[in-house]
Chain A
Amino acid sequence: MLFLLAAYAAVAVAIPWWQPRLGRAVWAVASLVPLATVAWAGTRAARVLDGGEYRETLAWAPSLGLTVDLRLDPLSLLMLWVVAGVGALVLLYCRYYVERDAARQAALLLAFAGAMTGLVLADNVFVLYVFWELTTVASFLLIAGRGEEENERRAARQALLVTVAGGLVMLLGLVLLGWTAGTYRISAILADPPRGGAVSAAAVLVLIGAFAKSAQMPLHGWLPAAMVAPTPVSAYLHAAAMVKAGVYLVARLAPALAEVAPWRPMVLAVGLTTMVLAAWRALRATDLKLLLAYGTISELGLLVTLLGAGTRTAALAGAVMLLAHAAFKSALFLSVGILDHRAGTRDIRELSGVGRRMPVLFAVTALAAASMAGIPPLVGYLGKEAYFEAFLYGDARLDGHRQLTVVLVIGSALTVAYAARFVQGAFGGPPEGAARRAERPEAGFVAPVAVLAGAGLALGVGYAGTAALAAAYADAYPPGPHGPYELSLWHGFTPVLGLSALTLALGGLVHLGRRSLPVTALLPDAQRAFDRTIAAADRLALTVTRHTQVGSLPLYLVVLLTTVVVVPGAALAAGAPPLGSPLPWWSPVEPFLAVVVLTAAAAVVGTRHRLTGILLTGAVGYGVAGMFLVRGAPDLALTQFLVETMTLVVVVLVLRRMPARFSPGRTMTRVRLVRAAAAGAVGVLVTCFALVASAARTAPAISSGYAHRMEEAGAENIVNAIVVDFRALDTLGEISVLLVAAVGTVSLIRVGGRGDARTPGGGPGGPSPTAHWDEPVRTWLPGAPERPGGERSVLLEVATRLLFPSILVLSLFLLFSGHYGPGGGFAGGLVAGQALVLRYLVGGRADLGAAVRVPASVVTGSGMLLAAAVGTFPLLLGGVPLESTVVTLHPPVVGTVKFATSLFFDVGVYLLVVGVVLELLSAVGVSLGQDMAEADEAEATAEDEEQGGPR
């Protein structure tokens, strides 16, 4: 069985490649696979009908219950023949029908056939679902075609959504069913059906899926819409095969679930209602395909009723009707396809007299229609007899079977009526219009119709074979109270025969009186319901999205902060853990620093000047650094001071090119209050959280362990040892951040590619007349003379000349002394960076270039490379990454030199930081005065806007 599926898949995939060479022969090739399937099934039939079975298994994801279990049993066999037989004929038929996209359609039809094959063979609920959805997808693709027409796309989407929705519901049902049964194997579930409330729920869910797939009311709307697909597709998917999947599932599970609470009422109610109403609707259709589509819905209703009823006779009738319907409905569809193809229309009102123009087609179509109407000795009649028998003499389980029989009679009569309407409408009347122009179909075109119609006759006449096939499935049920029902063309003059006759008579009457039929549509307009559902979903989506996704960053942040405050805050408030007994302060200096920090921070809020803002922020930073010092963190304080200065420099260098004041935004007081409340709440939360958390500490901090390991680390400064050794990985990450931030900053600032343009400082007023007074005479910094005199200062240049080497020595000191005191690569690098800032500031870009003759990115890159390489190097010696060793050397003169190899890591950090500073400088490093005119303009604009009132 697996090889069958593989064959379908392989040929389907290969067809697009073969098609250009094969031309129309591609259809014949494609049909070989289903033909082979029919034959293969034939070889297995004897044993299967004898009560045997064939199994194959392929593990997929067994722990999830996903095992590709395949099983050939009587029901599968029956379905397999239907699917493969009709499939082969449809493919052969396509040779004449399909004009374009042959490769695509052949591949899809074959893939679909393969999926159906898998579906009917599946013995695992999930595998069944897999193939189920594959048929859905294939159906979508076949309906949509190229999707050039709006209605094609729409119909395809509708079919997809409805059946997938049903499928999803069914999936949940299947999971529930399998979970309750303890197995996802269908045969095992059937062998030992689970019971209980969960199973009822599962049954309902599964039925909904089956109903959607089989176009049962009220989920039927997609099937008529799907008639936009090419007729072979309609014949195969939407008559013979795919829509049977739901019926098949009902048939498959009914032996296990028919006795579960809502199964039978649901099946009977939905099935019979659908049968009658859809048949009624078919009587009003003027498009032949639509007529057949409603007819199909009606028949599917009947099949659901029969196969879901859960008695032997009903199942027998269902199996027969399944075969019958596959044969006659696909024959009829194919017939319509020929009409459409040759006459160019399939509207009853335009077709007239085709019967005389195409007598053979007329004959075989009529034969198929007769089977649909249930005229003996066709198979349709066999089925009709059986289902009247099933309901008329149904056992007690078919509650209210007499009333149900009446419904069946009405439905069957209507079927007779629309069958007549079909034949009459398609072929009747004098030849005129379209029919006269129509070209006669080739024999090969009609042959599939003939074969299918003939099959109806053969199955009827050779009822013994039909019976064997159907009974093999139906025997899953116990025989009814009157013993097992036998199929036969003649049971004698029984009430059932009377009912059959009655349906024909009634049907004939309805057909004759068709012009006086009431025009009320008894069927709800499923199309509109679907459209409304979709529109409602879209409206809901729009409403929800409009109110959540407003696009305003401040609002997003307010929501975010509120969430952060409310969610953990509520837990904290609810738990109310103790605040502990905190000291008012650790050192009496703290309150002073606190005043500085908080005052400056508050002042930042009030300012409208960018520069003032950054200066005040700097004050906060210095205050915080002071706190670091007070709490015994000189390393932190050192870094904080350096970073603060560097931040000031970077911000100021950027600000140089931006307006002095903030853009004058007008914010409503209410909004400001909301923001303040959110921010304040976070402040309160953090305060409480910090107190509570620190009060809760019971275990000692693990950091007490560091002091004992300092010898091994070869250092005295624990913080530095942590940074470069114990937790060097943090530092590696940290410098990666720096690297990438610097790289990003450069790329952001060098926008527009005019970063290098140099405009001598001077806007409207020009530089101060004194600006060039203090230009030095001598060269103190190599690059400085390249600057305009107005930007130079003798004091600064002399001082820089003196300070620069000293600062570098200081930076190296910090780098090397980091192991013993505050310092380290980062602080050292920043100090060196400050030296370069000074050079840049005083001597300009050229002087910075003279100081460092390597591109900034090379310095950064080598820093990163060095740090990472130092981390990786121990691997070569068989050590672990970022491992540090204490090295002791005895060079001459000096005596003993002891250092940890983590020093080289620190050197990498140092280099990287220097490089980053260089990158930042080179990014913002255009001569002072650049862009000032622009900044001024922007500010003027902003001022105008401010005066002009709110925007």
Chain B
Amino acid sequence: MNTIDVTMALVIGGLFAVGFFLMLQRSLMRIVLGFILLGHGTNLLLLVAGGTPGRPPVPDGRIDDPAGTADPLPQAMALTAIVITFGLTAFLMALAYRSWRMTGHDEVRDDVEDRRIGTVRERAEAGSAADRETGGTAPGGER
């Protein structure tokens, strides 16, 4: 029997889709939001895919049949995951803030060195400089 129901599966799938779509943006703030949503998604997944739903796993003064009690282990794991996600969210926010302070935006720009290597002409110039120094076999230069 599935421990997960269709509604939950859809919610989780939806959160993953939206969350990852946001993670794929360049603005770090959007990425933070995406990360938070994904955190919700994974925690839900952990909870609902992990165990049977039921009464809270707190005996509450009564002796319940264990069958009707929710699985406590995924709850404990999700609890840990929530906390971790929270800490990292704060850190990401700080990163966004720092980026904004240093560059005036919080976008994840492309890597400069990669771009440099990717641009043949620039590379050729740098390469020829490297050639002179390092032995003539530096790549890419049109000799």
Contact = CB atoms under 8 A, between A and B. Distances in A.
Tell whether any CB of A sits under 8 Å from a CB of B in the complex. yes
Interface of A: 150, 153-154, 157, 531, 534-535, 537-539, 541-542, 545-546, 549-554, 557-558, 561, 580-587, 590-591, 593-594, 597-598, 601-602, 604-605, 610, 613-614, 617, 620-621, 624, 627-628, 630-636, 639-640, 643, 646-647, 650-651, 654, 657-659, 662-663, 665, 667, 675-676, 678-680, 682-684, 686-687, 690-691, 693-695, 697, 701-704, 706-707, 710, 716-719, 722-723, 726-727, 730-731, 733-735, 737-738, 740-742, 744-746, 748-749, 751-752, 820-822, 826, 916, 920, 923, 938, 941-942
A636 B86 contact: no
Given A624-B44, A695-B2, 20 more contacts: A154-B137, A538-B139, A546-B120, A551-B112, A552-B111, A553-B108, A581-B1, A581-B2, A605-B22, A610-B29, A621-B40, A630-B53, A631-B53, A636-B47, A667-B25, A690-B9, A701-B50, A719-B79, A723-B79, A748-B94
A640 B75 CA distance: 12
Interface in B16-30: 16-27, 29-30
Closest 8 CB pairs of A and B: A538-B139, A683-B17, A551-B114, A551-B111, A687-B13, A741-B87, A632-B70, A722-B76
Interface string B116-143: 0110100100000000001111111000
A516 to B, nearest CB: 37
Nearest to B105: A663
B41 to A, nearest CB: 8
A707 B17 contact: no
Contacts of A695: 1-2
B135 to A, nearest CB: 5
A658 B40 contact: no
B134 to A, nearest CB: 8
B59 A557 contact: no
A23 to B, nearest CB: 34
Contact of B51 (A551, A558, A561, A701): A701
Contacts of A647: 36, 86, 89-90
Nearest to B25: A554
Contact of A632 (B54, B120, B137): B54
B137 A157 contact: yes
Contacts of B45: 686, 690
B140 A539 contact: yes
B77 A730 contact: yes
Interface string B51-63: 1111111111000
Given A542-B139, A545-B117, A719 B72 contact: yes
Which size class do B's interface residues fall under? 35 or more
Nearest to A534: B137
Contacts, number: 370
Given A153-B135, A154-B137, A920-B90, A697 B13 contact: no
Contact of A551 (B6, B33, B90, B115): B115
Query: DSSP majority for the A interface?
Result: helix
Nearest to A738: B87
Interface string B72-98: 111111111011111111110111111
A680 B114 CA distance: 29
Contacts of B123: 542
B91 A744 contact: yes
Contacts of B4: 582, 690-691, 694
Contacts of B115: 550-551
B24 A557 contact: yes
A582 B47 contact: no
A457 B21 CA distance: 84
Given A614-B33, A624-B43, A745-B94, A636 B11 contact: no
A719 B57 contact: yes
B22 A636 contact: no
B117 A602 contact: no
Contacts of A662: 27, 29-30
26 contacts: A150-B136, A551-B110, A561-B20, A583-B5, A594-B11, A597-B11, A624-B44, A631-B53, A636-B47, A643-B82, A643-B86, A654-B97, A658-B29, A675-B24, A675-B25, A678-B24, A679-B20, A679-B24, A683-B13, A686-B12, A686-B41, A693-B49, A703-B73, A722-B75, A744-B94, A822-B56
Nearest to B131: A150
B96 A654 contact: yes
Contact of B91 (A150, A646, A745): A745
B56 A633 contact: yes
Contact of A538 (B51, B55, B138): B138
A837 to B, nearest CB: 13
A745 B32 CA distance: 14
Nearest to A613: B33
Contact of A684 (B13, B44, B55, B80): B13
A916 B30 CA distance: 24
A683 B20 contact: yes
Contacts of A538: 137-140
Nearest to A652: B93
Given A634-B58, A635-B79, A663-B106, A598 B24 contact: no
A659 B97 CA distance: 10
A582 B77 CA distance: 23
Contact of A586 (B5, B32, B85, B111): B5
Contact of A716 (B10, B47, B59): B59
A665 B75 contact: no
Given A690-B4, A719-B57, A941-B104, A627 B36 contact: no
A569 to B, nearest CB: 13
Contacts of B56: 632-635, 822
A635 B25 contact: no
A719 B58 contact: yes
Contacts of A640: 43, 82
A821 B32 CA distance: 32
A942 B45 CA distance: 39
Contacts of B139: 535, 537-539, 541-542
Contacts of B1: 580-581, 695, 697
A778 to B, nearest CB: 35
A707 B66 contact: yes
A553 B8 CA distance: 30
A694 B83 contact: no
B64 to A, nearest CB: 9
Nearest to B55: A632
Contacts of A604: 18, 22, 33, 37
A585 B7 contact: yes
Contacts of A738: 83-84, 86-87
Nearest to B67: A704
A658 B100 contact: yes
Given A581-B1, A605-B18, A679-B24, A586 B58 contact: no
